[in-house]
Each structure stands twice: as C-alpha cells, then as structure tokens.
Amino acid sequence: MRISQQLTTTLREVPRESEGVNQELLVRAGFVRQLTSGVYSFLPLGNRVIQKISTIVREEMNRAGSQEVIMPVIQPRDIWEVKPADGGPSRAEGVDVLFNLKDRKGRNMVLGPTHEEVVTLLAKEFVRSYRDLPQLVYQIQVKLRDEPRPRGGLLRTREFLMKDLYSFDANEEGMDKSYRAISQAYNAIFNRCGLRFIVIQADSGAIGGKDSQEFIAITDAGEDDAVECDTCGYAANTEKAEFVRSELAQEPEAALEEVHTPNATSIEDLAAFLNISAAKTMKVVCYGAGGKMILATVRGDLDVNEVKLTNALRRAGIPSSDLHLATAEELQRAGIVAGFTSPLDKGKDIFIMADTSLKSGNNFVAGANRVDYHVKNVNYPRDFRVDAWEDIASAYDGARCANCGGTLHVVRGSELGHIFKLGTRYSIPFGATFLDAQGNEQPLLMGCYGIGIGRLMAIAVEQSHDEKGIIWPFGIAPYQLALVGLDLDKGDNGQLAEQLYQDLQAAGIEVLFDDRIESAGVKFNDADLLGLPLRAVLSKRSLKNGGIELKLRSQKESRIVPLAEAVQVIQHEIQQGLKQD
RNA sequence: CGGGGUGUGGCGCAGUUGGUAGCGCGCCUGGUUUGGGACCAGGAGGUCCGCAGUUCGAGUCUGCGCACCCCGACCA
C-alpha cells in the first residue's frame, strides 16, 4: 500500500476528547475515529489490525476443533426474559445495558450484547444425541451494550467486536476437556499477539457457572485488579483471591467494657481514638439480602468483599442476588445504630456471617449499638453468635498466599478474555437436551469463552508504545514494514524505491510505502507514530552508504543492507520478529 | 443516575465593557528547500452545538435543551 493513497491522515496534535494512550495514539495515527460516545469507525489501518487479530483467533479456534458461525445482532427480547433454572432474575432484568428497540409491528427487540441464548436455541435444534457431541461453535461479531459509561478509549465501548465460543458437551468430563482445550488456545492467541498477560482464577459474576478463568493483560489503563503470588505464581481476581489471615496474639479474655467514643464512626477514627491497631477492632457491615438482615463482620484491618459475601450467603442457603447495603429504613427496623453496629445480642432473625480473620485475636473492640459508644473485650463465643464462618474479606497487596505462604501483589490489568463453565444454566431453561447412550434425556453442559478483539488492539497499544507513537508487535501490525522513500525526485532514487516496493510485495512482505512528497522529518515522525515494527529507508544518503537503512521500531540503531539483499534480509527479520512476539 | 468541565473553519485554540470572527497546524497554487514535524508568496474554507429570549445590535447576556469528556455509581 502507498501512503499517498491511503484513507488516513495523521494528526500532529492530541485530539481534545482524548481518553488515554490507546485512544490518543490510535486516533492520531489514523487507525480509528470516534463517531459518538463508545462507538468507533475502523479506518483501513485499524481494520488491518483487526483482521490480523481475527485471523490468529480463527486459526487457534479452528485448531481447537471449533466451527465458525454468524448469529443475529437483532434478537427478540423475549429470549432475554427467560428465567434461569435457579429461579433468579432473567437476564433482561439483571442486565441494564440492553439496547432496546421495537420492530414495525411493535414487537420488543434488543441488539445482542452477547449470544448465549441464541446459541443455546441453535444447539437445542441441532443436537439430538450424545453422538452429536461435543460441539464447539464460535463467532466473531459486533456486540452492543449500552454501557452506563464508556471509557478508556477502545477499552470499553458500546459497540465492540468480540469473539465468543460456546461449547456443548454430554458430561462433566467432556465439558472439562473443552474448557482445557480453549484455555490452551487462549494462551496461544495472546502469545501470538505479543501481549503480556496473566491467567487468573475469577469469579463468574452474573453470568453464572462454576470454574472461570480470566486472561488479564497487565496495564495501568485497565479496570481490573488481580493479585499474583510472587512465589508460586498463584493469581486470582481480588474478588476471589484466597489469602492467609495474619495471626494475632491471644490475650487472656477480659470483661466487657463500654467506652465513650465520640464521633468515632469509622475504624480509622476508632483505632486512632483508642490508640490501638485496626486489627484489634471488629468491622460490622449491614446488608440486606433475600429479605433478611445480614451482619457481615471482618477484622478491622480487612474489608468486606461483596462478591465473596454473595457467594458465601448462597452457600448458606440465603438468596443473595439482591445483596445490597442495608438502607436506613432496614437498619431502623432491625434496631441497629449505624456507625456503632454491634454483633452482640442479635436475634435469630439477623444472620451473622463472620470472616475467618476473627478466629485469630481476641478482646476486640466493637460497636455498642449506641451512638458514640463502643464495647471493649468482645470475644467469641462468649459474647456473640456466628451463623457461618466464611472467607468474606478482600485480599490486599502484601497479603500472604494461601497456596504457598508467599506474598501476594496487586496488579492492574484489563480483561482480554474470560472463560466459564456454564453447566446447565442455559440449557435447562431453554430445554436444550440430548439423549444419552441409555436413551435418557439430559441437559447439555455448556461453556462460553470470549475475547474482546477491539479491546485487544487497544491493549496492545497500551502495552507497547513510546513518546513517539505505537510499537506494534509483528503478529498484529497492520503492515510489517514501513518503506520510507526520501529524495524520490533525485536521480533514479524514485525508480529504485519503486522497484524495491514491487520486489517486497512480490515476496509476500506486507509493506506500507511512504511515497509522499514530504520532508524527511514528517516521514520519520509518521513512521514512528504508525509504529510498524520494521522500517527501511531508501535515500540519497543510504544509497551512498551502500543500500537501505533497516531499523526495528523498538530499537534506535539502524544498519545498512545492500539493495540486492534487502528482500531476503527483511524476510528474515520478520521471521525473527514473529518468533519473538 | 449524582458531581464537575467543554462545545468557535478539517485539527488544536484565542475572541476585551455586547458592535457582525481571528491565530497556529493541515488543505489548494506557484516558487525555494530536502535526514527528525522547512521557508516565501498567494488562496479556499465558519448556521460560533441547537432552540427561545433580552437588545438598535449576541460568539459574548438570560433560560431551556443536546452532545462530548472527566470523577463517582455501574460493568455478562
């Protein structure tokens, strides 16, 4: 491709609405343009990156035994109103990002935010027997979610390109096998795309299901926090991460004692006022869930993790999908004084869930359920009841790894891919069944596996750029080589550059030829901004020195390569580059 | 949905006490340049986000909208 003919302009100045590195560079370099909040056009350069990524994804999905399909963007709303097997809210109720519309007959439709429902209906239609299984189908398509707040440039958009794969199996072993196969494929994909990432144990969130892994690209621009062990490599979402509670010395139990603590409504205030460490206090947080009042209590140096709490409550048999901080009204009805909440003297109508951290240490300070008063020397089981002991506290930077005792570190990242075992969550309510070898009707076991293609492109930019511009990994660069022609109107330079361009193309090298009449500075700066991994300069000077100047975008030094060897050397560099991604 | 900010040529911005719009970059013509965003000369390009007011007169003042961005809530 010749730059002179490409539908692209680079911008010298940072666009005003710039939302961070990926957006700024992708817009300035002419890869994408924003149409409206969270909605982007992909210009020819951006499209080539998307195609590169998609090709890698297709190759790995096909290798894993999957088949590609296209599913509808427009879907009838009623498939979103199907109640799940556990009687919880339908997805239309649980999800507030649906784009709703009506067709001309007034029928309610949605723009598909994902395709579990549609694909389950397909499986219902085509899978009859265990002999038809397993099935792995995938799509690479635009999905739409009316996000409350798009942000981060291409990291979180309302219209986005996503690869989703859905697996259907006859039994747990099959589902596990599919899950492992796709997990492996994901590692291959992200490696080929030249990304730095970690794989973490994740919470499956509102989508439901059992095992779940997230592939997190490490970048400060991300929205997700994970913890990683510096010793054993254990990595998990902070909402799921297990850690060892620090040990506190056991003191002889002392008698309860009420103390006046004016205005000490927070743990920090309280600890400072009494001159004790936060770990010597009890933090009690009140929630409502399933129509019950829940007291969640953790040691004062920790925080309640609502995701863990939700899951723990479910294990305790309390419907928790509506978990919320207790309202003032609910507190009043339960006779609880906010800010001075006490675990003492609670009736059976209040469910008390305690974090295991409270098993270490004693003589805690807790609220007195009376404004401006706390109680000292609170001890279990002498002074309060616990209905369930669970892990309900958030992991933190520096916590001890539950796996090996090493130290957990918080890392910031962005979710590249997420894989789930869904089990029968969709197959049961949609009646997607098959006949097993004994002739019994069984629900299909499903898994789902997503990759944000556009987000992957944005993350690549976040992970690989400098002050001059993007530095594309070889695997997903729009072109592998920038051929910069200078002095094209001098002597036979123009002809030589033209010939080299033709030869490179004939050799199958993806080359972007800067054939414009521009000053050297403009061309070099644009080449750096676009970020093609290899740059070849053909100029009066380079010819005098014996050929072309060849340089990696990631490095400073160039070297002279004789014209006659140029194609071969460039080919070799690209092979090397692809290997190293 | 709360809090804050911004809307003026393609892009980035300025615009005084209200007097009919300007700068830089980019673009087009011609010439001079030619290794890290060159120079000279000429030129094209504007419903000043929209609507309604105030005024002899509104980019500027008032009201109501709309859009975009940031912080938070949310995030399959």
- For residue range A313-356, list pLDDT tens digits in order: 888 888 777 788 887 778 888 888 877 888 888 888 889 999 99
- Give the list of residues 6+ apart from residue A428 with CB closer than 8 angstroms, or none: A85, A443
pLDDT tens profile A192-221: 999 999 999 876 554 445 688 999 999 888
Q: Which nucleotide is nearest to A80 (CA to C1')?
A: B76
**What Å value separates CA A461 and C1' B9?**
32
**Span CA (A87) to C1' (B48), Å:** 57
Nearest to A446 by CA among A432, A460, A435, A464: A432
Rounded CA–C1' distance between A490 and B30, in angstroms: 21
Round to a whole number and report the distance in Å from the CA of A18 to the C1' of B64: 29
Q: Quote the CA–CA distance of A75 and A141 in Å, as a whole number.
A: 14
**Mean pLDDT in residue range A567-572:** 98
CB proximity list for A210: less than 8 A, separation 6 or greater: A204, A420, A421, A423
Q: Which nucleotide's C1' is closest to A16 (Cα)?
A: B12
In this predicted complex, what is the ipTM? 0.93
CA A356, chain centre distance (Å): 29
User: Which bases of chain B come closer than 7 Å to a protein CB?
Assistant: 1, 6, 11-13, 24-26, 33-38, 67-76
The answer to whether domain A257-390 and domain A479-580 are alike in fold is no
Task: Look at residue A380 and give its three-state secondary structure.
Answer: coil
Q: How far is the CA of A91 from the C1' of B76 (A)?
A: 9
The full DSSP string for A522-572 is HHHHHHHHHT-SEEEEE-HHHHHTTSEEEEETT-S-EEEE-GGGHHHHHHH
Name the closest residue (CA) to the C1' of nucleotide B13: A16
A461: nearest Cα among A480, A478, A444, A445: A478
Q: What average pLDDT does range A144-159 have in this prediction? A: 88
Predicted local confidence at residue A267, as pLDDT: 83
Read off the pLDDT of residues A488-542 as tens digits, 9 standing for 90 and up: 988 889 999 999 999 999 999 999 999 998 999 999 999 999 999 999 999 999 9
Topology of domain A479-580, per CATH? Rossmann fold (3.40.50)
Q: What is the pLDDT of residues A404-458, one digit of tens each?
A: 999 999 888 899 999 999 999 899 999 999 999 999 999 999 999 999 999 999 9
CA dihedral over A219, A225, A226, A231, signed as positive or negative = positive
- pLDDT (0 to 100) of residue A237: 83
Q: Can you give the pLDDT at residue A313?
A: 87
Mean per-residue pLDDT, A272-291: 87
Is the domain defined by A3-195+423-461 classed in CATH 3.40.50.300? no
Q: Report which of residues A563 and A320 the model is more confident about.
A: A563
Q: What token pair was written down for A229?
A: 């062990």
User: Which nucleotide lies nearest residue A524, CA to C1'?
Assistant: B36
Q: How is A478-504 classified by DSSP, letter by letter?
A: S-SEEEEE-STTSTTHHHHHHHHHHHH
Calculate the average pLDDT of chain A.
91
Q: Are A116 and A153 in contact (CB under 8 A)?
A: no
Q: How far is the CA of A274 from the C1' of B66 (A)?
A: 54
- Alpha-carbon distance of A22 to A464, in angstroms, equals 10
Q: Which CATH superfamily is domain A257-390 in?
A: YbaK/aminoacyl-tRNA synthetase-associated domain (3.90.960.10)
Instruction: Delimit the domains of chain A by residue range.
Output: 3-195+423-461, 257-390, 479-580
